[in-house]
Chains A and B, each alone.
Chain A
């Protein structure tokens, strides 16, 4: 904005301001109503949705897969989209940092003196696109849901193995059908055609980091371990 545009804006603004109403009581009234609505919404949500407390933190668990609060879903989903490990830092730190810097520098990037949304199409279009992208990623994050359910149908004999897989946290790093995360572990929907059952069992006992080992499961409950291996061996794609 050059000086002429600045002065023009200031002149227009002072006219519009002089035609306005005093802050007290008009604006204060609106603000107070909104504040009361906010308080009522918070109290209602607290009464209806409650504040549950899960089981106590146990640093030795290997099978718990956490979910962040819903407003971080869009960042998490960005992580799932970027698969090659060398580029992971881009999704975790790179893109969010770049976005934050761009957001801070917005008034210096956008020097168009126009304020009406229809008269600044680039800004309006970019804003709407980013909002839709964040909303989509947040929705995706919400639908990916708690990684303790496998929807892929299986025959009755493998049903118990499927439950073992679902409750052992595998979906935290692997994809099985529509459920689970696309990384850092490989997709298991077709693992039965790629590996023999013995190879699957070996991987479960002696995996590549960062996958945890399930040898303890084999010692404590060999039946469940075998059911797990059989189920995974049955996964031969769609």
Chain B
């Protein structure tokens, strides 16, 4: 179709000629190029041709779709850089702890969203709504269990990840900022655990939070004001539950999501460290360094 301009022209047959000069055992890609198959009927040759066309379409359609998006966002180079960047030699399983922590966070987010669909954040109705989740909602007990134990798993993983980063010296130049973001993420995770604990509003939640608020109140100078802010007043009341719910559902997940974005950006930009016991062998023929 010479009427179409170059970039839009379908490069079907010409490319096939160049890519497969010898053909393979099944013959070349088009039915026209199989003259030496006398026992096959024309029908089978047509079916073969149809299958080949289907295969080509199956590859071309997603490629065309991606091309459509790339043309309008310019995101191709970014995605290629992100996906095909090299990780240093010696990267081992310890390096999966960070993404495992993020996955635990995503699990918490998803289970949390489903819980939020049934939970009622009022001091009089909270406990009943949690009972409802446990007893009547389909898979409610499982989702609540996943959210509760997901918190434990996430705390374990985040401490393991922090330990790995510490012992590998991965907080040193040029990754200091990433470490700081990570510590803030750790603090936010612990605050999530604290605020989430109150929400079922059973005896244990209630009194554990009273103790936590009292502990905050013993801090110097700012302590009593901080405790008042947490409780929403001098006494533990209905405002407290709403406050903890807003912090747990909106404020901190937003902060965590933003900081995880920053954390991942720095990881992709600066690269992960190589294990510290690895030394770079000076390759003498390395005249051009590829990064």
Q: Does chain B have a CB within 8 A of A51?
A: yes
Residue of B96, B134, B218 near A93 (CB, 8 A) is B218
Whether A20 contacts B149 by the Cβ 8 Å rule is no
Q: In the complex, A17→B274 CA distance in Å?
A: 8
Residues on A with C-beta less than 8 A from B197 are 68-69
Chain B residue nearest to A26 (CB atoms) is B87
A12 touches B152 (CB 8 A): no
User: Could you mark each residue 100-119 of chain A with 1 if its beta carbon is under 8 Å from any beta carbon of chain B, else 0?
Assistant: 10011011101011111100
Q: In the assembly, what is the distance between CA of A103 and CA of B130, in Å? A: 37
Q: Is the Cβ of A64 less than 8 Å from the Cβ of B274? A: no
Q: Interface residue count for A (Cβ, 8 Å)? A: 78
Binding site for A on B (CB under 8 A): 82-91, 93, 95-97, 99-100, 103-104, 107, 127, 130-131, 134, 141-142, 144-153, 155, 157, 163, 166-176, 179-180, 183-184, 186-187, 190, 193-194, 197, 200-208, 210-212, 215-216, 218-220, 223, 236, 271, 273-274, 276-283, 286, 289-291
Closest to B223 in A: A93
* B contact residues around A53 at 8 Å (CB): 127, 130-131, 134, 200, 202
On chain A, the residues within 8 Å of B95 by CB distance are: 27, 30
Q: Are B211 and A56 in contact (CB under 8 A)?
A: no
Residue of A whose beta carbon sits closest to that of B145: A46
Q: Is A89 an interface residue (CB 8 A)?
A: yes
Least CB separation from A210: chain B residue: B214
Distance A69 CA – B95 CA, assembled complex (angstroms): 28
Subset of 8 A-B contacts with CB under 8 Å: A16-B88, A18-B86, A34-B100, A45-B145, A51-B148, A66-B207, A72-B190, A106-B183
How far, in Å, is A170 (CB) from chain B's closest CB? 16
Complex CA distance for A66 and B214, rounded to whole angstroms: 13
CA distance A232 to B91 in the complex (A): 62
Determine whether the beta carbon of B180 is less than 8 Å from that of A107.
yes
Closest beta carbon of chain A to B186's beta carbon, Å: 8
Please state if B277 and A93 are interface contacts (CB–CB under 8 Å): no
Closest 9 CB pairs of A and B: A46-B145, A115-B169, A66-B207, A107-B176, A57-B206, A93-B219, A115-B276, A34-B96, A15-B280
The closest CB in chain A to the CB of B90 belongs to A16
The reply to whether B274 and A16 form a contact with Cβ atoms under 8 Å apart is yes
**Min CB gap A87→B, angstroms:** 11
Known A18-B86, A39-B103, A49-B145: A106·B219 in contact at CB below 8 Å? no
Q: Is the Cβ of A108 less than 8 Å from the Cβ of B176?
A: yes
C-alpha spacing A1/B281, complex, angstroms: 22
Shortest distance between the CB of B62 and any CB in chain A (Å): 16
- Please name all residues of chain B whose beta carbon is closer than 8 Å to the beta carbon of A34 when the two chains form the complex: 93, 96-97, 99-100, 103
If the complex has contacts A20-B87, A66-B207, A117-B167, are A71 and B183 also in contact, measured as CB distance less than 8 A? no
CB atoms of A100 and B183 under 8 A apart:
yes
A19→B197 CA distance, assembly (Å): 47
Closest chain A residue to B204, Cβ basis: A54
Closest-CB distance, A22 to chain B (whole angstroms): 5
- Closest residue on chain B to residue A25 by CB atoms: B83
Whether A54 contacts B202 in the complex (CB less than 8 A), given A22-B84, A42-B104, comes out as: yes
Residues of the A chain whose Cβ atoms lie less than 8 Å from the Cβ of B286: 15
| B-contact 0/1 string along A143-165, CB 8 Å cutoff | 00000000000000000000000
Residues 63-112 of A contacting B (Cβ, < 8 Å)? 64-72, 79, 88-89, 92-94, 100, 103-104, 106-108, 110, 112
Residues of A within 8 A of B85 (CB): 22-23
CB within 8 Å of B: which A1-59 residues: 1, 6, 9-24, 26-27, 30-31, 33-35, 37-39, 41-43, 45-47, 49-51, 53-59
- Residues A56 and B202 in contact, CB atoms below 8 Å apart: yes
0/1 string, A207-222, CB within 8 A of B gives 1: 0000000000000000
Can you add 12 more A-B contacts, CB < 8 Å, to A10-B174, A120-B169?
Answer: A13-B273, A17-B88, A17-B89, A18-B86, A18-B290, A23-B85, A24-B84, A42-B146, A51-B144, A54-B204, A92-B215, A93-B220
B115: min CB distance to chain A, Å = 11
Residue of A47, A57, A59, A65 with most chain B CB atoms under a 10 A cut-off: A57
Contact A92 to B219, CB < 8 A, known contacts A17-B86, A51-B141:
yes
A27→B94 CA distance, assembly (Å): 11
Query: A15-B283, A55-B202, A70-B152 are known contacts. Are A23 and B145 too (CB-CB below 8 A)?
Result: no
A232 vs chain B, min Cβ distance (A): 24
CA distance A117 to B93 in the complex (A): 18
Taking CB atoms, residues of chain A closer than 8 Å to B169 are 114-117, 120, 123
Cα distance A24–B168 in the bound complex, in angstroms: 23
